[in-house]
Structure 1
Amino acid sequence: MTGKLGPDALAEVLAATGADDAAVEVGAAYGEDAAAIDLSGASGTLVVAADPLSLAADAVGELAVHVACNDVAASGADPRWLTHTLFLPDADAARRRTVIEQVDATARDLGVAIVGGHTEVLPSLDRPLCSMTALGTTDRFVSSGGAEPGDRLLLTKGAGIEATAILASDFREACAEAGVATETLDAAAAFLDDVSVVPDAAAVRDAATAMHDPTEGGLLTALVETASASGTELAVERERVPVRPETRACCDALGVDPLATFGSGALLAAVPPERVDDALDSLADAGIDAAVIGDVRAADERDAGSVRLDGDRIDEAPRDELYPLWE
């Protein structure tokens, strides 16, 4: 079967609408092709971010919600609404139910309403594909390009958190064969609970000049993108980057650099030196670990957009080191 879902299957999908939100005038419903959101009571800026996700097969619905909402949060906004476009490789009811239950539960946990989207079957796919658009509002938009020379670079939680969860679930057998202990894999798989940076961003956004959410390509890609957007050079010391023991074990087992792989769960923030203690205290009050990993430097035309990792120059974002494992 190719195309739209039948009425019963579609009703099941449309019933997964996340959190209630009084501003939603018209939401996800049969026959409705657009949502209506009342912004008359909102102030400031509407922030919108979109992301597709397909590779993390065991938790695609959960991660898809987090990845889209993280981008909105890293811009200084509170995520409130989602549109959910879901492509399925077949009409398998159990697979469909698993994905939509993940989406629904994760959105409810974040207090985000699912206001619309689209669902259909595409047999050319070999796994579900979730494409999310998240929307939120803020009184102070924080861009990736706001970093200024002299700012310190903060990283919350650690590098490679999302990749750790993927390695411990999708590649669990390979990790075990490489010597990773069962208890380490169990703990690593639970890192899915840590991939949201919504609380991280809320804690640090008042102090930050720039924030960025490491995803594909991990921390190194986020650093290159931040440097490029701000026209600066970023200097980072690898030993200062927090890496959890479970991340180290899983990444070492399969030859993956924790700094160059899926990094959802960490927030990169540029903070003026006089606000660093405030930012760290705010994060600590929220129960979030963080570390200063480097600084922002003025750059001429040749160095703008580059990263110095332990003095070695990086000009281009790396290809995510998990991709070869799927190929």
Structure 2
Amino acid sequence: MTGKLGPEALAEVLAATGADDPSVSTGPAYGEDAAAIDLAGAAETLVVAADPLSLAADAVGELAVHVACNDVAASGADPRWLTHTLFLPDDDSERRRTVTEQVDETASEVGVAIVGGHTEVLPALDRPLCSMTALGTTDRFVASGGTEPGDRLLLTKGAGIEATAILATDFREACRDAGVSAETLDSAAGFLTEVSVVPDAAAVREAATAMHDPTEGGLLTALVEVARASETTLAVERDRVPVRPETRACCDALGVDPLATFGSGALLAAVPPDRVDEARESLSAAGIDAGVIGEVRADESADRDDAAAVGRDDTAGTVRLDGDRIAEPPRDELYPLWE
């Protein structure tokens, strides 16, 4: 099955961490997209995150840079360096040039330097695959699992930003045939310029107890990941989640839930109630819209009988969407369109 491993299968992978190193203050864990490494003799922490990207064919290089840098930014760091591993299905010089130019231009826009990587042809692929490792530094690492009961949940920009751009480019004809206007599709395709959350994170990180950027599986998966990482319950109201008209049009046309599909471009942040106004003012000053979509509560899934009823061994953390319990991350709703 295409997509992320489920929590149980992923746990097996995350259990293989190699040699112990006391300088690793945050290592592999479900819901944590970046590692934190304490540098000997330095006041700053090195933040490292890695991500592959292949399915967004028209903008794979651009999105790959943003997705990797977003993970570093959502950990409270400023992205500074990238390594780029590129697998190509053939030795097509035009395709190679297109991807590398996308990577170069986007890295320049974000302000990160590409410091190394690897490139090769792999005929088993049917499209390019970019695997990025981003690195940055911070004096305050913000973990996904830092939420506290009472925190408010903020979401910047809106749900499904990345998916909207993909639908309007890779699936433009299908959207058009389903009744989406050319004007709407042109506007939606422009969302590719908004998938970075580096400015969002920089604006809110001083107030945030936790940050996370929705990617595959969208906002709902991000909420599950944060809930499990922090062992809390996240209560969210669907009507309070910002969804742009272009996102609604494209998703409705192809039967996609905007809360359950690729969400790069939005930042999910937990903020203490007495700092919500401060966070929103900081975001507004940066020209970034944000809405309060819910709150953090004590972990209701600590009830072992309730956990057993839904067949989970890992019982920490759950999500309530309009009161309905979501215990497992959904499969991204764009995948069936590629299959």
Q: Give 1:111-150 correspondences, 5 Å limit.
A: 111-150=111-150
What percentage of residue pairs aligned between the two structures are identical? 84
Partner of 1:159: 159
Give the match for residue 215 of structure 1: 215
Count matched residues.
289
CA–CA distance in 1 between the matches of 2:76 and 2:42? 15
The 5-angstrom pairing of residues 4-43 of structure 1 reads 43=43
Q: Please give the secondary structure, in 2, of the residue aligned with 1:43.
A: coil
Tell me the distance in 1 between the aligned counterparts of 2:63 and 2:284.
25
1:36 paired residue number: none
Give the letter aligned to residue 316 of structure 1.
E
Alpha-carbon distance in 1 for matches of 2:172, 2:264: 19
Q: CA deviation at 1:44?
A: 1.1
1:320 equivalent to 2:332? Answer yes
Look up the equivalent residue of 1:279 and give its one-letter code: A
1:104-144 Cα deviation digits (max 9, x unpaired): 00000011000000000001100000000000000000000
Q: Deviations over 1:75-100 (max 9, x none)?
A: 00000000000000000000000000
Question: Distance between the aligned counterparts of 2:43 and 2:94, measured in 1?
Answer: 42
- In the other structure, the counterpart of 1:305 is 317
Using the TM superposition, give the Cα deviation of residue 70 of structure 1 relative to its aligned residue in structure 2, in angstroms: 0.0
Q: Distance in 1 between matches of 2:112 and 2:282?
A: 23
Evaluate the alpha carbon distance shift between residue 70 and residue 175 of structure 1 in structure 2; reply closer, same or farther with a 3 A threshold. same
Amino acid at match of 2:182: T
Report the CA distance between 1:236 and its aligned residue. 0.2
TM-score, length of structure 1 as denominator length? 0.87
Asked whether 1:236 is paired with 2:206, we answer no
Q: State the match for 1:4 in structure 2.
A: none
Match of 1:175 in 2: 175
Q: Are the counterparts in 2 of residues 87 and 121 from structure 1 also a CA contact under 8 Å?
A: yes
CA drift of 1:304 comes to 3.7
Q: Check conservation: 1:156, 1:289, Cα contact below 8 A.
A: yes
Residue 255 of structure 1 aligns to which amino acid in structure 2?
G
Q: Distance in 2 between matches of 1:122 and 1:322?
A: 25
Residue 278 of structure 1 corresponds to which residue in structure 2?
278
| Aligned residue identity for 2:321 | L
Paired with 2:153 and 2:217, the residues of 1 have a C-alpha distance of 18
Deviation, 1:263, is 0.1
Q: Structure 1: how far apart are the matches of 2:338 and 2:109?
A: 30
> 1:41: how far off?
10
Task: Name structure 1 gaps, 5 residues minimum.
Answer: 1-38
Q: State the Cα deviation string for residues 43-91 of structure 1 (Å, max 9, x = none).
A: 3100000000000000000000000000000000000000000000000
Q: CA RMSD in A?
A: 1.2
Deviation at 1:188, TM superposition (A): 0.2
* 1:74-93 equivalences in 2 (<5 Å): 74-93=74-93
Distance in 2 separating the partners of 1:151 and 1:47:
24
SS across alignment from 2:253? helix
Secondary structure, aligned partner of 1:63? helix
Residue 299 (structure 1) shift: 1.5
In structure 2, the residue matched to 1:3 is none
Mapped to 2, the partners of 1:169 and 1:309 lie a distance apart of 30
Cα displacement (A) at 1:305: 1.3
Q: Can you give the 5+ residue segments of structure 2 that lack an aligned partner in the other structure?
A: 1-38, 304-314
Q: Tell me if structure 2 keeps the 8 A contact 1:42–1:137.
A: no
The one-letter code of the counterpart of 1:82 is: L
Deviation readout 1:301-321 (Å, 9 max, x if unpaired): 137411000000000000000
Asked if 2 retains the 8 angstrom alpha-carbon contact of 1:43 and 1:137, the reply is no
For 2:178 and 2:225, locate their aligned partners in 1 and report how far apart those are by CA, in whole Å: 33
